[in-house]
Structure 1
Amino acid sequence: MSRTSLVDEASAEELALRVLDEGTSVGKAGKYRYQISNSHTGNETVIVFLDTSEEILSYVRVLFLSGGIGISCWILMLFMVMFLSKKAIFPIVENMERQKQFVTNAGHEIKTPLAVILANTEAMELYNGENKWSKNIREQTVRLNGLMKNLLLLAKMDESAAEIIKTEISFSELVSENVRVFAEPLNLRSITLQTEIQPNVIIKANKEQISQLISILLDNASKYTNNRGTVIVRLQKSDKRIKLLIKNSCEKLLDTPPDKLFDRFYRDDKARTQKTGGYGIGLSVARSIVLANKGSITAEYENPNFVSFTVTL
């Protein structure tokens, strides 16, 4: 035995006997790599052991160092992405805020001239009588005024989404009140109104917004229900969820996907929308109200020729 300063001879001999018993010429025993070969004379067997503990330690050091560098680089890149993202997104957010502010300011500025035009038109009709030109001016002024009110409502919803004041309200009473308002106009068109309103349904939401939501959905049903058609209003509470269903019949189902009905200014039939006095914005307002009150709203087409809107709160 030679060069066994790291171990005593007994340990070296024990290790040599163990590797000889394994029957392999090259291998690993613990922290040692070994190789068995014959001497130059061929009469002796030479076993060479190499201590690899430092090699393993080096591997571990490289592994931890690489991991540390990798994590540090990842964290650095994350901070760089966050910093650059803020700089990149800031102009977009600023432009969106300016657009919202512009709609609000423009809406308030336009309301005054519209009121003046309408007042002058009515005064002119008092002196000269109504004619087709004054009638068109009045109708379009009223229409534009309604559009501005809806735009201002949307802008208000966007600006104060996080400032909604919620209280406990009777959903059943709000639905019943709004149904009574629309009952007579529906009756004049021989439209059948079916209601299933579960009593004492209480929700925590913004009363003004929920009332506006119900009014929008009923108004939409009133406008687009065919004469002698059917409007169904159903309110029910199941488990912890409350569902309001407003469904109306129509002459024919639309070809577009139901979800597209909630897009702002979407119109499948422009002539029909003009005739009914719609702005293409009411359902978008309804969706904003529902989302602001932590709910969901969906639209569905049902055979034969029914469109249904379901609000879940």
Structure 2
Amino acid sequence: MNKKFTRRQRWSFFLMNVASFAIIFLLLGIIIFQLVNRSAYQETDSTLKDTKEHTELIDQEVKRYKEDPTKFPVEQENETEQPSTPPDANRFNTQIILWSSEGKILNEAAFGGRISQLSKLRLQTDQLNDVQTITIDDSNEEELTFHSITQKYQDTDGEIAYVQVVANVNQIERSLATVQKIVVGCMVFFWLISIAVSFFLANRSMQPVLRSWKRQQEFVADASHELRTPLTIIQNSLESLFQRPNHTILDESETVAQALNETRRMTTLTTDLLTIARSDSNQLLIKKEKTAANAFLEELVKPFQEMAALEEKDFQLQTHGEKEVFFDRQKIHQVFVILLDNALKYTKEEDKIIVTSEFTHKHWILHFKNTSAPISKEGKKHIFERFYREDEARSKQEGGYGLGLSIALEIITAHEGELTVQDYTSSGVDFLVKLPA
């Protein structure tokens, strides 16, 4: 693969991951800010509404004002009547303000030390009965922020026109500012970490692409190599025929037979290559149908039993029970033929070939065993790879290309099954096929 393209693709993955993390952290931060802001002011606003609806405190303030407007409120320990307030109401920062119809504060004496700030309030009647945010600029101290709710008051003598309940929220704002700094700091910190993670993910994302590209290059190279040999033989055979135009077909029967034999091998090879290409592009269609599994197997092995008998090999079929299984008859037939053909190719006279079939609750399990030479530990790791042949000379002699087991694995995988290889006793091979039942 072109290094420039690889580098560009890696940077593309990296930038995409960084942008994705940034968007996720940004959305997370916005959601956190919204939830914190809403929950932070919720209790204060609830207190204001409770004070407005439960008028005992308002009536007490009005009564105190009318009795002595210049007197500060002092709790009497022996006072028998206490206003009934909701148990969850927090009045610590809450102040009740009585307004005249002209917009004058009537109960300034009740403000105590807060008179310098609260006296700067102005009556606003445009949003009665709704919670509002009010800001007061204080030249000596920080800007003061209040949440307030204002309502009309039905006074018997008409002196009090409006009642306003205010609550200072500066402490909440300072807490929110601290929370926001912490959240922003955490977002930036983890986003910086995500840059390193993005670089790691970009490299990881490129690995399958590079492996696929390398596999494709190897596949093309191996296929070209395998096709070159039969094509060369066919070409040489045809050229030799042109060099002897007076010879009859009988005279050149050996040359023609050789060309035909290589043509058949090429046909098999191209069919296998087409199967693999379809599998790589997810076009390996599986048409499952309900089939009596052991009956299907018994019919399939008959010609192989006959060939084994002719070659003086012991072929045993061991089936246990019967069950109907869903699978693609044609493709599973191809898998079993590949496994049985290999067993016949790589066994000698008096060797054993044993095929067993049994069922579990979830699987149809088959063993294709033979007593040929065992496969090496390294060979087991690569035996299902395309064009892999542990014994190169023998494979070519037998006419194999190293594609059979790779195709078998592709078909079994498409059936959501398993195909593995293991040793059979001390000398032999056991191919295990597990299909969903």
TM class by shorter chain equals 0.5 to 0.7
Aligned partner of 2:386 in structure 1 is 264
> Which residues of 2 match residues 230-269 of structure 1 at below 5 A?
230-251=352-373, 253-254=375-376, 256-269=378-391
Q: 1:200 to 1:97 in 2, by over 3 A?
A: same
| Cα shift readout 1:196-237 (whole Å, capped 9, x = no counterpart) | 123423222222211111111111111111211100001111
TM-score normalised by structure 2 residue count? 0.48
Aligned partner of 2:403 in structure 1 is 281
Aligned with 1:256: secondary structure?
A: helix
Aligned partner of 1:11 in structure 2 is none
Q: 1:129 to 1:174 in 2, by over 3 A?
A: farther
Aligned with 1:200: secondary structure?
A: coil
The equivalent position to 1:66 in structure 2, one of 179, 185, 188, is 185
Deviation at 1:80, TM superposition (A): 9.7
Contact 2:387 2:401 in 1 (8 A): yes
Amino acid at match of 1:286: A
How far apart, in 2, do the equivalents of 1:87 and 1:257 lie?
Answer: 28
2:322 counterpart of 1:200: yes
Deviation at 1:159, TM superposition (A): 2.9
Aligned partner of 1:312 in structure 2 is 434
2:266 counterpart of 1:173: no
The equivalent position to 2:271 in structure 1, one of 145, 149, 169, is 149
How far apart, in 2, do the equivalents of 1:192 and 1:125 lie?
Answer: 46
Contact 1:259 1:299 in 2 (8 A): no
Aligned with 1:194: secondary structure?
A: strand
Aligned partner of 1:303 in structure 2 is 425
Q: 1:168 to 1:78 in 2, by over 3 A?
A: farther
| Cα shift readout 1:165-217 (whole Å, capped 9, x = no counterpart) | 33322322221122112111111011111111234232222222111111111
Aligned with 1:279: secondary structure?
A: coil
Q: 1:71 to 1:278 in 2, by over 3 A?
A: same
Amino acid at match of 2:184: L
Contact 1:201 1:237 in 2 (8 A): yes
Aligned partner of 1:210 in structure 2 is 332
Give structure 2 stretches of 5+ with no counterpart: 1-170, 224-229, 241-245
| Cα shift readout 1:57-110 (whole Å, capped 9, x = no counterpart) | 765443222234456667899899999998998899799899999x99xxxxxx
Deviation at 1:287, TM superposition (A): 0.6
Amino acid at match of 2:263: T
TM-score normalised by structure 1 residue count? 0.64
Amino acid at match of 1:145: T
How far apart, in 2, do the equivalents of 1:54 and 1:180 lie?
Answer: 87
How far apart, in 2, do the equivalents of 1:89 and 1:300 lie?
Answer: 28
| Cα shift readout 1:229-252 (whole Å, capped 9, x = no counterpart) | 100001111231221110111145
How far apart, in 2, do the equivalents of 1:90 and 1:174 lie?
Answer: 40
Aligned with 1:169: secondary structure?
A: strand
Contact 1:192 1:229 in 2 (8 A): yes
Deviation at 1:259, TM superposition (A): 3.1
How far apart, in 1, do the equivalents of 2:289 and 2:247 lie?
Answer: 46
How far apart, in 2, do the equivalents of 1:298 and 1:287 lie?
Answer: 9
How far apart, in 2, do the equivalents of 1:246 and 1:159 lie?
Answer: 29
Question: What is the aligned-residue RMSD (CA, Å)?
Answer: 4.6
Aligned with 2:383: secondary structure?
A: helix
Aligned partner of 2:260 in structure 1 is 138
The equivalent position to 1:189 in structure 2, one of 311, 318, 334, is 311
Deviation at 1:53, TM superposition (A): 10
How far apart, in 2, do the equivalents of 1:195 and 1:89 lie?
Answer: 42
Count matched residues.
258
Aligned with 1:288: secondary structure?
A: helix
How far apart, in 2, do the equivalents of 1:116 and 1:196 lie?
Answer: 47
Percent of aligned positions with the same letter in both sequences?
24
Aligned with 1:146: secondary structure?
A: helix
Q: 1:198 to 1:158 in 2, by over 3 A?
A: farther
User: Greater share of strand residues, 1 or 2?
Assistant: 1
